[in-house]
Amino acid sequence: MRKVKKVGLVANLTKEKALSCTSDLASWLESRGIEVLWEKTLAKKEKKDGLELSKLSSSVDLLIVLGGDGTILRTACFAARSQTPIVGINLGDFGYLTEVNLGEVYSALEIILAGGGKQSKRMMLEALVNTDEGIRGGFTALNDVVLNRADSQKMIELETYIDDHYLITYRADGLIISTPTGSTAYSLSAGGPIVFPNQDVIIINPICPHTLTNRPIIVPPTVTVKVILRSPKQGAILSLDGQAVLTLREGNILTVKRAETATILISSPHRDYMEILRSKLGWGSLKMNQCKRKD
């Protein structure tokens, strides 16, 4: 990681401790000779000058994001364009993306600012849609691209291709196209596999499919996934990282491929990914040698 001279602060202002923690953190950074820049909405609360997230991301050496995983997702698309690393600080428990706890903020940052933070380059997805009005594009996602049925109790039909080779026409409530980072998000709740985030693959996972043998599929990162909506009377909502962006109609084509940009996250120096999985999924942490029977 390049030497940190400027840090950008981003926070989820709906969190109770967001303002006080951000203010304390800014003072701590400035006492170490680091210039602090503020995201615009946060700066307004602090009565300071601020920058739009797009401008902030390209103006600093490091982004510190206080909130939850959703705040990271909101920041990721901007940070990826300038390849600015992100440190996530969770204002609750640590998350899959916001790994640093409040109680360890300063000890973790001491290590990270000294160059001891491990960078994790996370694959992203790019989506574009062919509609009756033309091509809509420029959509990127760190977690997932999702098609969900719109305003109907009926399943939708999704004709799906991989590199222009026909795969299947899903009859389902929807379809999740996920990165490894997103494998522990919506895809996991729909029965998808957990994939280590440093892998580069694409997960295709139907939501409540009509045919129970329609299982999640993992494909290489080099493929292009094409989905054609084949439901005459129903639309489908396209969402990226949980944010709805537009409605597809019959015959509209969604194309998803690996994005040219990636999100750079700095891992907590105090834990590894296995600990995060154990904590978030409620797995037991006893080691096997502690569970052996004594005969």
Phi, psi of 283 (to 5 degrees): -75, 150
Separation CA 36–CA 194 (nearest Å): 37
Contact 157, 209 (CB under 8 A): no
Residue 151 annotated to the active site: no
**Which one of 49, 61, 69, 163 is the catalytic residue?**
69
Separation CA 252–CA 131 (nearest Å): 5
CB crowding 53-90: b at 16 or more within 10 Å, else e = bebbbeebbbbbbbbbbbbbbbbbbbbbebebbbbbbb
Annotated active-site positions, please? 69
